[in-house]
Amino acid sequence: MSQPPAPGVPPSFQPPPNYGGYSGELQSFGQPPVPTAPPPWASNPMPPAPSYAHPTAPAATLPGQRPAVVAMAATLAVTASLQWICGLSFLWLVATAGARELGTTGVDGGVYHLLNRFHYRMLDGLAWPLYLFPAVSFVLAFLLLARRQWARLAFTLTGAAAVGWLAWFVRSDLVWWVAPALYISVAVGILWTPAAHRWYGWQPERQGP
**Using one digit for the tens of pLDDT, what is the confidence trace for 139-197?**
999 999 999 999 999 999 999 999 999 999 999 999 999 999 999 999 999 999 999 99
Higher local confidence (pLDDT), 3 or 117: 117
Whether the pLDDT of residue 107 is over 50: the answer is yes
CA-nearest of 137, 118, 152 to 183 is 137
Q: 146 near 70, Cβ under 8 Å?
A: no
Q: What is the arithmetic mean of pLDDT over 119-130?
A: 93
Give the separation between CA 135 and CA 192, rounded to whole angstroms. 22
Q: So where are the chain's domains?
A: 68-199
Give the separation between CA 205 and CA 22, rounded to whole angstroms. 70
Tell me what pLDDT residue 100 has.
82
Whether the pLDDT of residue 19 is over 70: the answer is no
- CA 9, 11, 13, 14 torsion-angle sign: positive
